[in-house]
Structure 1
């Protein structure tokens, strides 16, 4: 049997390493050894650990979609707390995940000022964003931890999954933003950011949001 140290494992950008039969104590030790300042993301589900290193374009899309969500929340006068790629984990469930981005929207005051999340007492984020999700480990972790809404952006398209009866079901609309064609809009404005630049795309998106709000019956 060959034993490798974590520092001997190099994950190249755009690739992932899958480790099997990793117990919870080993998962915690790996988290501690890797630390907070790293370019990798981890997903853990019942003994399977995935270490992923995103490509630069992955990070660009992640930031852009996060900015679009923030504009929506601002224009709708909805408060939020953004926890980025915080590690969410529950030992009794043997699950852990680090989203590309995530938001507490329903009750942000409960999370305000927190530097650590304990899912045995804290709720999971209301909305999580993942770029290029192809991993069952990631989806299993999100599902088990009870994240109500998951946005998955891949190959230029956005998919919305909503948790129903402990299973994710694809949805045409976002429960958080039901009056907006989110899947079409996010895909369109991310594409625009790549051709016209981030600032121009964000300005155009804000204008689109304001026009949609003005056309709502109660506005």
Structure 2
């Protein structure tokens, strides 16, 4: 069975794990799958995961990213979005496609770039995940050196900070250290399920501008 066939047979919420997978095979599978696909990949330690997100996952990842953009605007921080770009680095034998990601401290390094080469470009400063992230995905983020990773698993937001090559759980964000994002972000994601996305985002923007 080809990898392309595996991808087509995946139902929303399903995941296929392949191992061992060499770097060369990983590159070949990416080519076979193509860029216009709904599935996402995570690759680390010779393990390749191909995942088909659930429909509700797509909505939640958009809400989470929009909440981050409101915070960045409030803090007057410049940023560049790279979405679910495939990040990979051969000498680290790792690859990942985040739900969304942002260059903040290093935003100038990627302005106007359509392709990111992690052998010369920095990794994103913040990556977002809105499903349970497997050890393979977390290992990939770690290998690529992503400084901060947010994982939303309803109804909680987990913040992981890279310290000395390992992720530690944190109650605060290094990017927004004076904002209790672990409490606030889940509240407004859940709020969107009640009043709709646009109203929840409007309420959140009003909250940060008047209460923070």
Which band: TM-score by shorter chain?
A: over 0.9
2:4 aligned residue: 7
Counterpart-to-counterpart distance in 2, 1:64 and 1:6:
31
Residue 78 of structure 1: SS of its match in structure 2? coil
Q: How far apart are the structure 2 equivalents of 1:111 and 1:119?
A: 11
- Structure 2 stretches lacking a partner, 5+ long: none
1:69-218 alignment, distance < 5 Å: 69-213=68-212
Q: Is contact 1:180-1:212 (8 Å) kept?
A: no
Say which is worse superposed, 128-137 or 139-148, in terms of deviation.
128-137
Aligned to 1:53: 52
Q: Distance in 2 between matches of 1:115 and 1:201?
A: 32
Cα-to-partner distance string for 1:23-72 (whole Å, 9 max, x where unaligned): 11111111111111111110001211000010011111100000000011
Please give the alpha-carbon distance, in whole angstroms, between the structure 2 residues aligned to 1:84 and 1:48: 23
Q: CA deviation at 1:179?
A: 1.1
The equivalent residue for 1:216 is none
CA distance in 2, matches of 1:166, 1:52: 26
Unaligned runs of 5+ in 1: 214-219
The 8 Å contact of residues 127 and 147 in structure 1, kept in 2 or not, is answered as yes
Point out the structure with max Rg over C-alpha.
Answer: 1
